[in-house]
Amino acid sequence: MTSGGPERGSAAAEFLLVSVLVLALLLGVVQVALAVHVRSLATDAAAEGARVAARVDRGPADGVARTRALLADALTADYARDVTAGRTTLDGAAVTEVTVRAPLPVVGLLGPGGTLTVRGHALEEAP
C-alpha cells in the first residue's frame, strides 16, 4: 500500500498558507511597535525641548536645538527636520510649546504613510 494517496503534499500547501498569514501578522505587529516607539521618543524629545525653552535664561531656539539633538541621537536626523517652538497659553497659563512633525516609519512596502505630529509643553519660568 502506498502512503499519502490523494492528499499527498497537502501538508506543504497548508504550511505555506499558514506561514504567509503568520508572516503578515508579524509584520503588522512590528509596524505598530515601531510607530509607537517613534511616537514615544518624539514626545519625550518635544517635552524635554519645551522644558529647556521655558527656562528664564533660554528661548525657543534653544528648545528646538535640544529637541533636534535628542531626535538625531535616538533615531536619525530625518526625524529632526521639522521642529518648531513658540510661546502660547494653555488653560490660562503661559507655556512653551515644542512641536515635532516626523515621518511615520514603514516596514516593507505596506503600511501607513504620512506624518506624526506630537507636542511638548512646559510652564514658563518667571524672571
Name the amino acid, one letter, at 71. L
Contact by Cβ (8 Å): 80, 72: yes
CB count within 10 Å of CB 69 equals 14
CA 27 to chain centre: 16
Judge whether residue 1 has pLDDT over 70: no
- Name the pLDDT band for 84 (thresholds 50, 70, 90): very high
Of 9-13, 34-38, 100-104, give the lowest mean pLDDT range: 9-13
Residue 49: per-residue pLDDT:
97
- Cβ neighbourhood burial of 27 (10 Å; 0-12, 13-18, 19+): middle
Question: Across residues 16-40, what is the average pLDDT?
Answer: 91
Residue 109: per-residue pLDDT:
58
Residue 81: per-residue pLDDT:
93
β-bridge partners, 86:
97
Measured CA angle at 33 (ends 29, 36), to 5 deg: 140
Distance CA 90, CA 65 (A): 23
Q: What is the rounded average pLDDT for all residues in the chain?
A: 89
pLDDT in tens, 31-76: 888 889 999 999 999 999 999 999 999 999 999 999 999 999 999 9
Contacting residues for 93 by C-beta, under 8 A, at least 6 apart: 123
